[in-house]
Amino acid sequence: MTADRSLKPLAGASALALLAILAGGALLSLAIEAMGGRTEGFATFDSYLWRIARFTLVQALLSMLLSVALAVPLARALHAHPAFPGRAMILRLFALPLALPALVAVLGITSIYGRNGLLAATFRALGLDAIPDIYGLTGILIAHVFFNLPLATRLILSGLDSIPEDYWKLASQLGMNGWARFRLIEWPVIGRNLSGIAGLIFMLCITSFTIVLTLGGGPRATTLEVAIYQALHFDFDIARAVSLTLLQLCLTIAVLAVLGLSGRPAEEGFSLHTATRRFDRPPLGAKLLDGGLILFGLVFVGLPIAGTVVSGLAADLLRLLSERPVWQAILTSLILGASAAALSLIISLALVMAREYLANERRDAPPTLFERALDLGASLIMVVPPIVIGAGWFILSRHFVDPFSLAPIMVVSVNAAMAIPFAFRILRPSWDTAASRHNRLCAQLGIAGWNRLRLIDWPALARPLGVAFAFAMALSLGDLGTIALFGNNSIQTLPFLLLQRMGSYRTEDAAGLALILGFLCLLLMIIADRGASRLARTESGNNG
Amino acid sequence: MAKPSGPHASDGASIRLDAVGFDFGDMAMHFDLAIAPSSIAAIIGPSGSGKSTLLNLIAGFETAKSGRILIGGQDVTHAPPARRPVSMVFQDNNLFAHLDVAANVGLGRKPDLKLNNADRTAVSEAIRKVGLAGKEVRKPEALSGGERQRVAIARALVRNRPVLLLDEAFASLGPALRHEMLDLVGNLQEDTRMTIVMVTHHPEDALRLPSTLFYLEHGKIVASGPAKELLSDKRPSLLRKYLGVKDSDL
């Protein structure tokens, strides 16, 4: 073997250092402020802080319970009826909310449940006096369930799909009734994944920013993330922001610690499920109940999406597209999104390559601290939420520069960090498989360095890189958190512009912009989805 | 539904497929066969010839497009699987991974696992008969491949149905173990007199037990008769091609 030293560990170390600076800088800044006495710290853990922390937890808990409680029967119903008309389409629809920026979904939900929405119009037509008011906890819960019910349903369904077909054959041969099937076959699988799924949803709802910002009803229905934003952006109350940020950090770490004990849900990937064949003939009552459940899910998820499209098309799209600020916002979003995606790919790839290299070198020895750090680095953003990084750097940088001038750098780096856990998970299996296939052959033939990257690794990596890029860019395009903190009149992304138009009650403009934004994100997600399913096919083809 | 009960209720039942048609993808299958009560039938044939489909039709996991299926003289063509006097053992996934041996066998008695004392006695008796006494509380993961299939057979025993279908049940076992399992099945058959239909891709399995052979090709039975004759030196040329190089193994 050649003795030339690989650059891979160095690349991995640099990537780690970059992430450490991003998160560490923010944490350091918070620590300095807290130590310097310029903060109320936790000394003033007053009723305001307590109320916000409590609301953050309560809304997350309720959102989680509602989503899971509805998802279990819905997933069962979808699984029990593999031939349900439009089943594949419903599952495809259920993948949509994941791809939809929160802001777009919020507009869709308002178009149904809002003061001037479909529901209000129906009430009026029926002569009812009730005007729905979704601002506050109700709206937050509707929006969170809109996002998480489909997610939970798909995760539970993929668990059910992992039950071998033979089990269903056996169940029908042994004559198990619906309850026995649930107890003996379905529940063991659902229950195994449920704590992980519930934890994931709880985490997503605790760190939910956009939905609470737009649907929350003033100080009574506010979460920590939104309170941090308001303290920095409107009140410029640094002391309060630091207290809030530290509280958010503690909360996240505490929840993650609990989650770590309960395990993660089985990974779902992007691909559409194939239906399992069931060998039972459910009685009519069960059929009707299941049909009703599926219909409810379809309407609940489908209506807001349809609302987005309908009210978006009603807007004057041509005029919107001819407006200079709109064009600039689209361009800014695309440039920042592409940069964030590129950065997250570079960092993820460095982590993946270094990790595999080290794992290969050590052979059967236990993994070194460095190798484990590479794995952990990829999920750093899970521990230190984007708003904490943003707030930390905002507070630190104001000593040296105008924080708002940092907007592009912060948006790109925080969005990149947000995409790393996903990019890492997309790239790692492809890289590891390719490496295990090629390492010995390349060593024997003396293919190394640039030549190996060009001839051997690139062909295997091109597609997963494309998938990860499209995914990361869609994530960044739809993100409002960082740009809301740092955004100003000189730099506006599409979600930021959208938020402004909503704020100034230009509802039609907002609907049009939402359609454009939703369309862009969806396009990227479809590209990612197509690529991912082709990836899965070629990989299984190569193995088979 | 009339559930067979009592120790001798499971005396074998005859099986008849009367001009049964079934479309499997592009292949139109057509089965005509009669299996005598308390006999052993071995189904062989190239892969894709419809061996497993034939068993699935008998068990009720597939429904015939035309024709009739009779078990013990009863028309079961459209009966759901649980209403057929049949037990089936698959190649794998016969056991629920989260239930122990006794519970997996107990399911054959009560599909909701609410077992009474008589059920429990029957379960431990069956576990003893398949040679797994003492392993009642083991989970499937702590069993070998052969032991898992023994549990599945024990479940078939407590179900006490007159027909046992083996769908390549021993295919993933080594030769010695496979022979051992066949002998076990043979002994149990002498005891219970149940009718056995087994799909196998080892023709010598058919010779190990006194069986009638059915040879399938393209979804049709093209040869049948006592295994000893069909697999002897005077075997029809039809089978020669399928058996091919395996001649010396026999």
B66-70, B131-135, B243-247: least confidently modelled range: B243-247
Q: Within an 8 Å CB–CB cutoff, is residue B92 touching chain A?
A: yes
Choose from A162, A165, A169 for mutation: most chain B CBs within 10 A. Answer: A169
A176-185, A346-355, B220-229, B233-242: least confidently modelled range: B233-242
Flag whether pLDDT at A529 surpasses 60. Answer: yes
Q: Within an 8 Å CB–CB cutoff, is residue B3 touching chain A?
A: no
- Which residue ranges does chain A devote to CATH 1.10.3720.10? 1-32+315-544, 48-100+135-309
A255-259, A277-281, B32-36: least confidently modelled range: A277-281
Q: How far is B159 from chain A (nearest CA, A)?
A: 9
Mean pLDDT of all residues in B149-158: 92
Choose from B24, B90, B155 for mutation: most chain A CBs within 10 A. Answer: B90
pLDDT at res. B64:
92
> Predicted confidence band at A544 (pLDDT cuts at 50, 70, 90)?
very low
Sign for the CA dihedral angle at A519, A521, A523, A526 comes to negative
Burial of A21-58, coded b for 16+ CB within 10 Å and e otherwise, reads ebbbebbebbebbbeeeebbeeeeeeeebeebbebbbe
pLDDT at res. A268:
43
Contact B96 A169 (CB under 8 A): no
Flag whether pLDDT at A534 surpasses 60. Answer: yes
Tell which residue, A106, A114, A192, A201, has the closest CA to residue A150: A201
Q: Within an 8 Å CB–CB cutoff, is residue A169 touching chain B?
A: yes
Strand pairing class (B195-199; B40-44) = parallel
Assign B198 to helix, strand or coil.
strand
Give the list of residues 6+ apart from residue A369 with CB closer than 8 angstroms, or none. Answer: none
Mean pLDDT of all residues in A298-303: 94
Q: Within an 8 Å CB–CB cutoff, is residue A170 touching chain B?
A: yes
pLDDT at res. A48:
80
Q: Within an 8 Å CB–CB cutoff, is residue B24 touching chain A?
A: no
- Report the alpha-carbon angle A453-A271-A437, nearest 5: 30
Of the candidates A164, A169, A184, the beta carbon closest to that of B61 is on A169
Q: What are phi and psi of B89, to 5 degrees?
A: -115, 125
Contact A180 B111 (CB under 8 A): yes
Average confidence score pLDDT of chain B: 87
Average confidence score pLDDT of chain A: 84
Q: Within an 8 Å CB–CB cutoff, is residue A183 touching chain B?
A: yes
Contact A166 B92 (CB under 8 A): yes
Chain A contact set for B113 (CB, 8 A):
180, 184
Give the DSSP per-residue string, B61-99: SS--SEEEEEETTEE-TT--GGGSSEEEE-SS--S-TTS
- Report the alpha-carbon angle A344-A349-A353, nearest 5: 155
Higher pLDDT, A268 or A513: A513
Mean pLDDT of all residues in A54-70: 95
> Predicted confidence band at A275 (pLDDT cuts at 50, 70, 90)?
low
Flag whether pLDDT at B249 surpasses 90. Answer: no
Q: Within an 8 Å CB–CB cutoff, is residue B88 touching chain A?
A: yes
Flag whether pLDDT at A309 surpasses 60. Answer: yes
Chain A residue with minimal CA distance to B87?
A173
A276-290, B27-41, B170-184: least confidently modelled range: A276-290
Given a contact cutoff of 8 angstroms between Cβ atoms, the answer to whether A416 and A343 are in contact is yes
Q: What is the DSSP letter of B110?
A: -
Q: Within an 8 Å CB–CB cutoff, is residue B183 touching chain A?
A: no
Q: Percent of chain B at pLDDT above 90?
A: 52
Flag whether pLDDT at A543 surpasses 60. Answer: no
Name the most confidently modeled range: A217-221, A268-272, A294-298, B88-92.
A294-298
Task: Tell me the two tokens of residue A55.
Answer: 């609301």
Q: How far is the CA of B116 from the CAs of A37, B98, B109, B110, B121, in angstroms?
A: 72, 21, 10, 9, 9
Name the most confidently modeled range: A253-267, A339-353, A388-402.
A339-353
Chain A residue with minimal CA distance to B62?
A279
pLDDT at res. A469:
92
Where do we find the tokens 């930390």?
A392
Chain B contact set for A169 (CB, 8 A):
59, 61, 81, 88, 90
Mean pLDDT of all residues in A426-431: 87
The count of CB pairs under 8 A between chains A and B is 61
Contact B113 A173 (CB under 8 A): no
Residue B24 bridge partners (DSSP): B27
Q: Within an 8 Å CB–CB cutoff, is residue B93 touching chain A?
A: yes
Q: What is the DSSP letter of A488?
A: B
Q: Percent of chain A at pLDDT above 70?
A: 92
Given a contact cutoff of 8 angstroms between Cβ atoms, the answer to whether B136 and B102 are in contact is yes
Q: What are phi and psi of B232, to 5 degrees?
A: -80, -175
d(CA A487, CA A75) in angstroms, rounded, equals: 41
Where do we find the tokens 């995409």?
A419
Mean pLDDT of all residues in A291-316: 92
Higher pLDDT, A166 or B154: B154
Contact B107 A174 (CB under 8 A): yes
Of the candidates B61, B98, B111, the beta carbon closest to that of A174 is on B111
- Would you identify the CATH topology of the domain A48-100+135-309? MetI-like fold (1.10.3720)
CATH architecture, domain defined by B9-85+172-250: 3-Layer(aba) Sandwich (3.40)
> Predicted confidence band at A45 (pLDDT cuts at 50, 70, 90)?
low
- Report the alpha-carbon angle A343-A344-A349, nearest 5: 105
Higher pLDDT, A450 or B152: B152
The H or E element spanning position B16 is: strand B15-24
Chain B contact set for A176 (CB, 8 A):
107, 111-112
Mean pLDDT of all residues in A313-333: 89
Task: Tell me the two tokens of residue A73.
Answer: 């029967």
Give the DSSP per-residue string, B179-192: HHHHHHHHHHHHHH
pLDDT at res. A269:
40
CB atoms within 10 A of CB B16: 16
> Predicted confidence band at A496 (pLDDT cuts at 50, 70, 90)?
very high
Q: What are phi and psi of B5, to 5 degrees?
A: -140, 165
Tell which residue, A207, A491, A494, A479, has the closest CA to residue A340: A479
Chain A residue with minimal CA distance to B98?
A188
Flag whether pLDDT at A206 surpasses 80. Answer: yes
Flag whether pLDDT at A1 surpasses 50. Answer: no
Higher pLDDT, A372 or A264: A372
Given a contact cutoff of 8 angstroms between Cβ atoms, the answer to whether A518 and A142 are in contact is no
Q: How far is B116 from chain A (nearest CA, A)?
A: 17
Q: Within an 8 Å CB–CB cutoff, is residue A175 touching chain B?
A: yes
Chain B residue with minimal CA distance to A173?
B82
Contact B93 A176 (CB under 8 A): no
pLDDT at res. A124:
85
Tell which residue, A487, A53, A47, A480, has the closest CA to residue A246: A53
Flag whether pLDDT at B102 surpasses 70. Answer: yes
Chain A residue with minimal CA distance to B103?
A184
Q: How far is the CA of A448 from the CAs of A7, A86, A247, A520, in angstroms?
A: 11, 51, 49, 39
Tell which residue, A199, A95, A93, A203, has the closest CA to residue A474: A95
CB atoms within 10 A of CB A326: 22
Give the DSSP per-residue string, B226-248: EHHHHTSTT--HHHHHHHGGGGG
Task: Tell me the two tokens of residue A116.
Answer: 């001037």
Mean pLDDT of all residues in A243-258: 86
Flag whether pLDDT at A12 surpasses 50. Answer: yes
Choose from B107, B151, B158 for mutation: most chain A CBs within 10 A. Answer: B107
Q: What are phi and psi of A177, to 5 degrees?
A: -90, 180
Flag whether pLDDT at B246 surpasses 70. Answer: no
Mean pLDDT of all residues in A518-544: 73
CB atoms within 10 A of CB B13: 21
Chain B residue with minimal CA distance to A282?
B80
pLDDT at res. A105:
92
Flag whether pLDDT at B248 surpasses 60. Answer: no
Chain B residue with minimal CA distance to A185?
B96
Of the candidates A164, A183, A279, the beta carbon closest to that of B81 is on A279
Flag whether pLDDT at A540 surpasses 60. Answer: no
CATH superfamily of the domain spanning A1-32+315-544: MetI-like (1.10.3720.10)
> Predicted confidence band at B65 (pLDDT cuts at 50, 70, 90)?
very high
Q: In what order do the strands lie in the sheet with B40-44?
A: B74-75, B66-71, B15-24, B27-35, B220-226, B211-217, B40-44, B195-199, B163-167, B86-89
Assign A133 to helix, strand or coil.
coil
Assign A300 to helix, strand or coil.
helix
- A255, exposed or middle or buried, with CB in 10 Å at 0-12, 13-18, 19+? middle
